[in-house]
Each structure stands twice: as C-alpha cells, then as structure tokens.
Structure 1
C-alpha cells in the first residue's frame, strides 16, 4: 500500500459514523449488508449514510453491488489488510511484538493520606 492510499483510508475512517459503518461491514463479512440494514443497525438517516458509503468507497474500503432493488455494501478486506500491513510493517524492528499475555488496563493510583 502506498502512503497516499493509507492516508486516504485513515481519513475515511477518522469519523465516528464512518468507522461504525466500516466495522459493521467487517462484521457482516464478504456478503455485506443492505444500506437499509446498516441504517437501521446504526440509526443513521439514509442521505447521511449515502455520504459515508461514498467516502468509504472512494478510499477503497467498501464496495457496492445491486441485488434487485437493494444496494449491498461490503468491506474490502484486501484494502483493510493492506492498511494494517502498512501500519505494522516496521513494527518492533522486525521482532515479534505480540504481548506475552492479556494486558490489563492501567490502574489509577490513589494518593496516600497526608
């Protein structure tokens, strides 16, 4: 993946609703979802959703196909995987950087009484 493609994909995902749409499409798998199903699941207006789908398509993160009267949107997994690969290709200088075990959230320190 080229840097310009990565920037376009990240820009498309850098908005709450679009990120939600993309994650929902990823969960749906290669068969995708109808625009109506996405709108219902995320409680988004159809005209707003069309704009978000267009941004995801222009960034190469989603495809659309017509089935009868329905528009079916699906995530482009090859682009998603290329983006993840681009972001991690130089991770940890080539050494494995997978965590040894499940990480726990940092605990807040309580201040000792004075």
Structure 2
C-alpha cells in the first residue's frame, strides 16, 4: 500500500506499507525537506493506520536508523514502542531500532 501527499501539485511526502496477515511494516516514510514540520508524516501515518485497522492488522513495525533522531522522536511521540535493535543493519554500518505500534490499543 502507498500514499502520496501533495502540497498543491507538488509531491511532498510518501508512505509505503506492507501487510502480512495481521501484521504490517512501514517500508518507507519520507517528507521532502521543504515540507517538513507541517505534520505531513503524522497525517500519512494516521491514514495508513486507519486503513490497516480496517484490514484487521493489529501491529505495525518499522526499522529506523539510530542516527535519525528526528524520525525516532516522531515515532515515539506517536506512540510507537522500542522493541528491538538490528546491529549494523544499514550499509554505513549503523544500527536500526525496531519499533512497534499496537493498532488495537484503546489508550493510543
């Protein structure tokens, strides 16, 4: 599944998800630099999560570089929880934090 958010006629952000049974993962989430800090990533995630819920998904996962402070902060703010680490996951040798989001939680 994929969504693109437009600002006017210009693509500003993208979310791609993959579902397997009752789990899904974020393949990529990105917002072009000139459109950051406008809640576009949050809006994309809200749309994606709403769609996943209708498809019976209970948990959403992702990997994010431990060096990407802005992304980690966003995911934690939105209710994702750290659930693991993948050592030397990225080509530059950096680790990835594995995060999960419970789509069934009523306390989100």
Q: TM-score, normalised by structure 2?
A: 0.35
- Relative contact order (alpha carbons < 8 A, sep ≥ 6): 1 or 2 greater? 1
Over alpha carbons, which structure has the higher Rg?
1
TM-score w.r.t. length of structure 1: 0.34
